[in-house]
Structure 1
């Protein structure tokens, strides 16, 4: 799966697994570094999703009518 198409939830879940593996220990230095780099990429994906959600919320709140009713088909 291409990272660009990864959902927030997928990135978050994989990041959780990366952290668990790093915390469990028993890895070589190379394995640890590779996992750390993957974790950094996953954290960046999560941050992009969260920044997008913040921007959408800010835009909705800035509307003259206070944002009105949200479209239930659109998350955030």
Structure 2
């Protein structure tokens, strides 16, 4: 498990660690207290991944295309 704060992770970092957490929990070979900590970390990682995906979707949605499908610019995304 990484010591890096979840809020500073990229999508890829959070997803990679989330996969490790899920693997450990599925194996079931960790003590109960560690399982609880893993579950909490997993919940934070999942939320981070969802947040980063939402940001990416908003950026893609903000791009406007011309008749040929070429980007003509961007429109501001709410809150930016």
TM-score range, shorter chain: 0.7 to 0.9
- The structure that is helix-richer by fraction is 1
Runs of 4+ with deviation above 3 angstroms: none
- Size of the alignment, in residue pairs? 68
Q: Which 5+ residue runs of structure 1 have no aligned equivalent?
A: 71-76
Structure 2 Cα separation of the partners of residues 67 and 56 of structure 1: 16
So what's the TM-score if we normalise by structure 1?
0.78
So what's the TM-score if we normalise by structure 2?
0.74
Q: Report the equivalent of 1:6.
A: 9
Q: Larger RCO: Structure 1 or Structure 2 (Cα < 8 Å, ≥ 6 residues apart)?
A: 1
Q: In structure 2, which of residues 54, 62, 65 is the aligned counterpart of residue 51 of structure 1?
A: 54
- The structure that is strand-richer by fraction is 2
